[in-house]
Chains A and B, each alone.
Chain A
Amino acid sequence: MYQNVEAYLSELREGLSGLDPATIQDALADAEDHLQSALEQARREHPEAAPESLLSAIIADFGTPQEIAKAYREIEVRLTPPFAPVKKKDTRPFYVRFFGVLGEPRAYAALLYLLTSIVTGVLYFTWAVTGVSLSVGLMVLIFGLPFFGLFVFSIQGLALVEGRLVEALLGVRMPRRQMPFRAGTGIWKKFVARLKDRRTWTTLAYLVLQLPFGIIHFTIFIVLLAYSLQLMALPVLQLVFDQPLISFSFGKYFVPLWSMPLLFIAGILDVIVLLHLAKFVGRQHGAMAKALLVQRA
């Protein structure tokens, strides 16, 4: 049977291959916690028994890697994250697809993510740049290494938080917990493992990149949003409050009355285009987050 929990987990990992990497990460963490807890209890109750026989009894109750992988496969197909993209091909006519975006929660969620990414971008960027420069600067001092260690561990914490945001607002499946360490791993080994982990460095890159992306997203979408709001509010602004469309130093420009309905329609079209764009950019950003923040099994 299985020599140890690791052997079981590696077979389970194989069985789960092809599933979402985030699901695999969660499934392995659940299985490991269960098996380790059960093994510990069994050892206390039967200290004389061989660990392998204890483990095989536990696995008989828990299920073989094949059984567990099958259970995950059966359930995962029924699960979709909130605002998940519809997988099947969109066969609605062109105009329904175009205007239908007004009723899609996912488009608004993506817009919200893109507008707030400037805030998270500033936070992540500050954290990453401060962490790196302080780590380098303090390295000559006695507490330089512990500081660097804390910083390295914090990176994956931030990755988890950002992952939750991305899953909730962009609908891309992301991990719900951190990649576990083997039970009893010392702090130094954990630190070295994090340093060797490619994901630590890709996450750091993501944290830095979030700022420029956040600035671009925010600028583009806030301009489009402001523009369309102005177009739609124009009749009220001009007729009620006597505000011009544009005011120059040498005068004000008021639009003619007949163009107001057209400009109002243009404003609505602008919102629709904006939402489509938000959905598209959100998808790209989600794909980037997944590539940089999630470990490939």
Chain B
Amino acid sequence: MDDQDANRKFQKELNAGAVALVLLSVLDQSQVPLYGYQIAKLLEKHGDKISVVKQGSLYPVLRSLEKGGLLDSNVEPSVTGPPRRYYRITPNGREILAQWVAIWQQNTSFVEAILEGTVDVSER
């Protein structure tokens, strides 16, 4: 129980920035604007439920990315329920994404190097 809590907490902290990166990247690769539910379904298909990110918490992140000018959105009526907000990436968002990808890759290669033991950590 304690272990599980610790694992959840670790995963949550790891996810904090990754979610924004993933959302930006998904919208960058998509040819058409996507709405929240579509994105959640896409991630679910590939995520195999390993992530502890609740689908509902994607929405505040989408909103904050829009607020920061990285995403752009428009509302269109839907047949099933309330109007839907479709998101697409902005040119500014693309620039930021490229920078974030670079940071992410630097970060992961560093962490992997440490985990694989290829970095000499012994004291001299």
Contacts and interface: CB of A to CB of B under 8 A. Distances in A.
A75 B61 contact: yes
A71 B83 contact: no
Contacts of B59: 27, 30-31, 34, 68
B55 A62 contact: yes
B117 interface: no
A67 interface: yes
B97 to A, nearest CB: 19
A79 B57 contact: no
Contact of B60 (A40, A75, A177): A75
Interface stretch (B24-32, B36-44, B107-115): B36-44
Contacts of B35: 33
Contacts, number: 85
A68 B64 contact: no
Interface of B: 35-37, 40, 44, 54-57, 59-61, 63-64, 67, 75, 78, 80-85
Interface stretch (A106-114, A115-123, A178-186, A250-258): A178-186
A273 to B, nearest CB: 33
A183 B81 contact: yes
Contacts of B75: 176-177
Contacts of A33: 35-37, 78, 80-84
B36 A61 contact: no
A37 interface: yes
30 contacts: A27-B59, A27-B60, A30-B85, A31-B59, A33-B36, A33-B37, A34-B37, A34-B59, A36-B80, A37-B80, A37-B81, A61-B40, A61-B54, A61-B55, A62-B55, A62-B56, A63-B55, A67-B54, A68-B59, A71-B56, A71-B57, A72-B60, A75-B63, A78-B64, A79-B63, A79-B64, A177-B82, A183-B80, A183-B81, A183-B82
- B contacts with A: majority SS: helix
Given A34-B37, A34-B55, A177 B83 contact: yes
A284 B68 CA distance: 26
Contacts of A178: 83
Nearest to A79: B67
Interface centre among A27, A33, A40 (most CB of B within 10 A): A33
A71 B60 contact: yes
Contacts of A63: 54-57
